[in-house]
Amino acid sequence: MVRRFLGSVLICLLVSSAAWAQPKVPEGVVYEADVEYGKAGDESLKLDIARPEKVSAEAPCIVVIHGGGWRAGNRKQHVDAILALAKQGYVAATISYRFAPEHKFPAQIEDAKCAVRFLRANAEKYQLDPERIGAIGFSAGAHLSMLLGTMDKDDGMEGQGGHADQSSKVQCVVAYFGPTDFMADDIPTQVIGLVDDLVGAKKEEKPELRKAASPVTYVNSGDAPTLIYQGTKDALVPHTQAYKMADALTDAGVPGRVELLLGAGHGWGGAELFRTLDGAGKFFEAELKKAK
C-alpha cells in the first residue's frame, strides 16, 4: 500500500556511497539520472527522477532533499527511495543544491524552488499532478522542505534558475529533525558556525539574514500541512526548534503534527525508523490526496 511506501526505502540513508552508482530499477518504473532542472549562473542544477511507467491519471509528486549541513551531501543517497516511491505510484525526484560556504543563502532555497518549478513546468512530460507536490527532507534538507511549504512568491528568493511562471510552493511537507528558527537562543554552539557560513554573517552582525533563513518567519494560513519528527536528545537541532514551528503553525491554523522521539538524537534507525517512515507515508497519502 502507498502508506507503507517508505518502510523499506529510506533505509538507504544508512548505506555507503558505493551503493549509489548503479541503482536497480524496479520493473514498471522509469528512472532518469542527472536531469538538469535549472541553471545558477554557469552551474548546472540537477536532479534524478523516477516515475511509474504506466499511470491512469496524473500522479502526485514527492521531492526528496538530502541533508549535510548545507555544505555537503549527495542526492544519490536517495535514489533507492525515489525508485520505491515510483513503484508505489508517485513521481519522485531527489535534488542537488548549491553548498555553503561558497554559495550563501538563499542559494539553497532558490535551487529547491527552481526544482519544484521545473517539475510543474514538465508535469505533462513526467505525468505528474502539479497541484499535488510534496517535499521530504532530513536535517538541512528538512529546513529547505519547510521553506518550500511556507514561503510564498511574494517572499522572494525565487532565483533566476528558470520557469518563473510556475509556483515553487509544495502542498505537503515531512521534515526530519530540521532547524526552524535561527533567531532563537537554543542553537547549539557546534551549529552556530554552520549557520554563520550559510548566511555569510554572525548573528550580531546581520540578524536579519538569520530571520530570512528561518521557516518560522514565513508561516501563515494556507501553508502546507506539515509533519515534523524530532528527537529529544538531538545535539545539533534541539527539540525546542520543533516547538517553535509547532507554535507558528498552530497560530496560523495549518494542519499537521510534531512527533517527539524521546531519547533520540540527530537521526535514528531500527524499528523507530520504519515506524516514522510508515507515518510519513500515511501523511503524504492523506494530504496529497486531499490536495486534489
* Structure confidence by residue, pLDDT tens digits, 8-52: 344 434 333 444 567 899 999 999 999 999 999 899 999 999 999
| C-alpha cell read off for 228 | 515534523
For the record, the C-alpha cell of 138 comes out as 532530513
Just give the CATH number of 2-291: 3.40.50.1820
Residue 22 pLDDT = 78
The three cell numbers of residue 11 are 533505509
**Is it true that the peptide bond before 106 is cis, omega within 30 degrees of 0?**
yes
pLDDT at residue 291, as a whole number: 59
Distance of CA 75 to the CA centre of its chain: 11
d(CA 173, CA 175): 6
So what's the pLDDT on residue 234?
98
Q: Distance between CA atoms of 161 and 167, rounded to whole angstroms?
A: 13
Write the pLDDT tens digit of every residue in 78-97: 999 999 999 999 999 999 99
Task: Give me the pLDDT at residue 237, please.
Answer: 98
The segments of the chain whose pLDDT lies below 70 read: 1-21, 290-292
pLDDT at residue 14, as a whole number: 37
Every domain of the chain and the residues it spans:
2-291
CA distances to 54, 61, 129 from 57, in Å = 9, 12, 8
Crossing angle between the packed helical segments 107-121 and 140-150, to the nearest 10 degrees: 60
